[in-house]
Structure 1
């Protein structure tokens, strides 16, 4: 009798075989001509059974899926402390080959991006009778349960074209992250990426991670438990690069993709999943691989929220507000203050069921926070069930924090928990963005002083005009038209032609776009800030709607005035546009950052 899982996998494989998006990776010539129709799915349980369908005997290079296993070897050899000194464990939000290094230390953001993986390889020592790469290959083979080998063709092709990785290696050397000649480490990294595997090999490697580092069939402890814990944690937040947030929302499994077309996902304690299909999406992940994992997570209930209900996992994440900045555009002085004081406001995300055991762990996590954390924001939007004991414990926690001069706020979209916990006047929000805005306002009020946030700004004091001379600014101000609008007035609408640059003297405006029939706010601008200039970089059309939030006073340097300036004072016009472009870039960068945060909200 055929297993229903096998039947499901065959149907899934047949359905997804029709997907035609993406192209195989072209950056390594030896891989560019791979058959795009190859497609395999394998699922390995922690007791060693493997379900497989498709081109499961096709070999391909492991590429970036090597990174968790090299990282695990470094952790096993050195321990977390020495490794953490060289490689951080924070999401970068960048593509796999970005230069995500800390400005002061040069530490890569995590071991899943290329810079971090090269650093991890460099940390692995040689052993008596075994070179560093021999040890890496042995580790991969132990996790796969068979002896693996390197494709010399792919290795040489990758070594000849890996200029960006070579640059990363030397940049790491310049910071002292790599302490010796980086050439050997880089060669070993290229070889690690060139190890050949099949889809069942990858499924078994993923199952080894799911089985706390013990190979499900051989029983060999291929990776230590502490290393597995760290590796899976970093895979959860960083394994899918700049798609990690969307991945965790839809699939909900620690995962790692590779440009060779492979992809692994891990459900701790239960199974390892692997997919192979060469065509890649914009994030460098297999198109069919991502689709297969999304479908299997949904159809089989593999998402960690569903699969972990028995474990009553509660604390999903804990981070300060600097990790998720709000949509409010602050002045440079305000940004500096929030960067210095942001650790005082912390968000604790909860998930699953808030029964006694889960709530106890949440309360313990909060009571162990640094005493300097003054604002605690509990995000309960993902909580499924809350019992009476849990509600009583949360109320007691709120009162204890209040006695210490600290504040407990709730992010509760449905209101089921907050209606029992929050007293009148307690901070309550429906989205994380609202909560972060409130926390930033509190920190600015407490530590910024009355002169930090200006309520009125004159034209000569605008930061955007700082590069210009006093005489230049006086000429510009003569061309400006004063405006005064009331709350709710649309100052600019999406699609309007470029109308000039608006200078906010007092009051606030919001920028927003329509998404799915609803207005989604992108940023809030206040005195000393400008808007309207972005339209010039968008084909001359306004890309956001700008709305007054309360009374607003402005001055408008209109389109006709700018044309007049360009004709009569072209040098001044050029200086103006250089200054405006610099400021506009800052705004665009903040909008993109806030949009990325909003995706995970």
Structure 2
């Protein structure tokens, strides 16, 4: 028997659906997401770090606020978590622009042509180092200033738009909103760019820049003066994470070949002379900017952005670096731990009446379950439960209305569960219990064995969906009082199957029946036997057992007091097609074939009334199964 944690319940179902993530909140009133809470706690903790100084070049009177701090996490299905008041504060993109202009140049000219101008090797030098290949004059990579200048020089006007306008348009498509260049930032940058100007002329002397080097510098500085928010950068990072599709707008912005190249160079060179330490401790392709922004990408799962102006000696945000390190550790976002992409999905939940158990409920019980079906939802996930899939799952549950007290997590098609996923689900369980709600799990592969979820204070775990839903149905029926609880004894006179008959007819019918009793495990009717009469269950439960396509015996349903069986064999060449087995002590009243013959001879109107009642009962059962089958096909 599964453990009962309290008098509420929650259902989640995990099943394969294809690629991508598709989550929709089922109700408006939502529980706070554990991920949101983690970001809020992280922001408060990291904000205590006061090291570093903001970039000194800025328009007069617009000194950066050293206390400004914002974190944004964008998932590949377009949901954006934000923490901190500065998450929507605009600031200059600066060097974070480099990977995106690199992507635009790759789209314009192709890999080979760009490679002729810019190499792919980590430089190990600061971002503004004056260093070019002594043979070819090529910059080491597109992330240092020399490489960025070479890339921007390749971006030309076209379609009636200048090169700077094309860059603005491209960045805007990546962010999902219209961006703009701050002229005052550009003006102050151009007055403080002697070193970059020298780099531009040096590149020109090698033929890397084949146009006016000053024009290349100006376009580069306009690009760096683009104003973005932390939210914008998170969406831009998530666009790289999806392989080039903006997860908010759905627009295909970058081709996958360019994304592969950009992320590869970001991984090896995006953090300049700190790239090796970053790859080891954070493990995500990333880019920082002196404007205070930090951008990181977990391919296939999420995009991360942080805004905090104070910089370290590498020109990266002190709080931005620390935030990325902690999130990588806490949420297992290092690329080595990343889940297999393309196989995880979360689907919209269905109600418990749409996917009922194998217990054939009475009309009264079915009516109660239908009345309270909104108290129980089934949500579906498939694939690996690492960060992205678990985040989608947690978000779906957090979005459920407070009156949903029954949820089942069916993990039969989950292949791998990370430590992070266990922690997130355990946190979710505790928060649900605090609201007098409960989490139930379907999982037969031992994925949760030895985890807190499987401990003494864990969750009820079932190996099959049917048994889990039976458990949920029973809890709902018990929760809502004796009037809706299952009746343990139903005399034939009160059987729903013959309710169309009047009292006198039912009383006469009982005189044709004979009582029978069975012990637990008794075979009442075996497959292949000839018609043995109509069996009315007075008390106990009877399991209907059949054979699946592989030849294995499976329980098809469970019948309880007040239900009948045996009559369907009349439609199968008088042969029993399933086995009926006692589940505990069972008391029956049976209309044998001989008794039915006497009834038809002695009281034809009553016999006709009986068959009409049984036909009506069978029709209602078949209609219910057809509706359930339609839901399962969609599910």
TM-score for the superposition, normalised by structure 2:
0.48
Q: Does 1:60 find its partner at 2:94?
A: no
Q: How far 1:204 moved relative to its partner? A: 0.2
Q: Deviations over 1:388-429 (max 9, x none)?
A: xxxxxxxxxxxxxxxxxxxxxxxxxxxxxxxxxxxxxxxxxx
Candidates 134, 137, 141, aligned match of 1:110: 141
- In structure 1, the partner of 2:75 is 45
Question: CA offsets per residue over residues 437-456 of structure 1, 9 Å max, x none?
Answer: xxxxxxxxxxxxxxxxxxxx
3-state SS of the aligned residue for 1:42? strand
Q: Which has the higher contact order (CA 8 A, sep 6+)?
A: 2
Q: Confirm or deny: 8 A CA contact 1:24 1:36 kept in the other structure.
A: yes
C-alpha deviation, 1:100, in angstroms: 2.4
Partners of 1:41 and 1:217 in 2: CA distance: 18
- 1:122 to 2:137 alignment: no
Q: 1:20 corresponds to which residue?
A: 50
Q: Please, which of 174, 178, 198 is the counterpart of residue 167 of structure 1?
A: 198
Report the CA distance shift for 1:234/1:31 in structure 2 as closer, same or farther (over 3 A): farther
Runs of 4+ more than 2 Å apart: 27-32, 308-311
* CA contact 1:31–1:260 (8 Å) conserved in 2: no
TM-fit CA distance, 1:125: 1.9
Q: Is 1:262–1:286's contact at 8 Å kept on the other side of the alignment?
A: yes
Q: 1:231 to 1:268 in 2, by over 3 A?
A: same
Superposition RMSD on alpha carbons, in Å? 1.5
* Bigger mean CA offset, 211-220 vs 28-37: 28-37
Please give the alpha-carbon distance, in whole angstroms, between the structure 1 residues aligned to 2:245 and 2:229.
20
Q: Is the aligned partner of 1:265 residue 2:284?
A: no
Which of 99, 118, 121 aligns to 1:90? It is 121
1:33 to 58, 63, 67: 63
Structure 2 partner of 1:201? 232
Secondary structure at the aligned position of 2:115 is classed as: helix
- Gapped runs of 5+ residues in structure 2? 1-30, 343-635
Q: SS of the counterpart of 1:56? A: helix
In the other structure, the counterpart of 1:453 is none
Structure 1: stretches of 5+ with no match in the other structure: 312-601
CA shift for structure 1 position 30: 5.2
Q: 2: distance between equivalents of 1:100 and 1:229? A: 26
Q: Is the 8 A contact 2:57 2:188 kept in 1?
A: no
> Which is richer in helix?
1
- The corresponding residue for 1:155 is 186
Q: CA deviation at 1:26?
A: 1.4
Per the alignment, residue 334 of structure 2 pairs with 303
Q: Which residue of 1 aligns with 2:37?
A: 7
- The answer as to whether partners of 1:240 and 1:255 remain within 8 angstroms in 2 is yes
Q: How many residues align?
A: 312
Q: 2:244 aligns with which of 213, 219, 223?
A: 213
Q: 1:100 aligns with which of 128, 131, 134?
A: 131
Shift of the 273–30 alpha-carbon distance from structure 1 to 2, 3 Å rule, reads farther
Please give the alpha-carbon distance, in whole angstroms, between the structure 2 residues aligned to 1:40 and 1:180: 39
For 2:446, the equivalent position in structure 1 comes to none
The answer to whether residue 81 in structure 2 is matched with residue 70 in structure 1 is no
Q: Distance in 1 between matches of 2:256 and 2:218?
A: 28
CA distance in 2, matches of 1:286, 1:147: 25
Task: Sort the Cα spacing of 1:59 and 1:31 in 2 relative to 1 into closer, same or farther, 3 A.
Answer: farther
Deviation string, structure 1 residues 529-551 (Cα, Å, up to 9, x no partner) = xxxxxxxxxxxxxxxxxxxxxxx
Instruction: Pick closer, same or farther for the CA change 1:188–1:257 going to 2, 3 Å.
Output: same
Matching of residues 207-356 of structure 1 within 5 Å = 207-308=238-339
- Residue 295 of structure 2 aligns to a residue whose secondary structure is strand
State the TM-score, normalized to the length of structure 1: 0.51
SS in structure 2 of the partner of residue 161 of structure 1: coil
Contact 1:26 1:32 (C-alpha < 8 Å) held by counterparts:
no
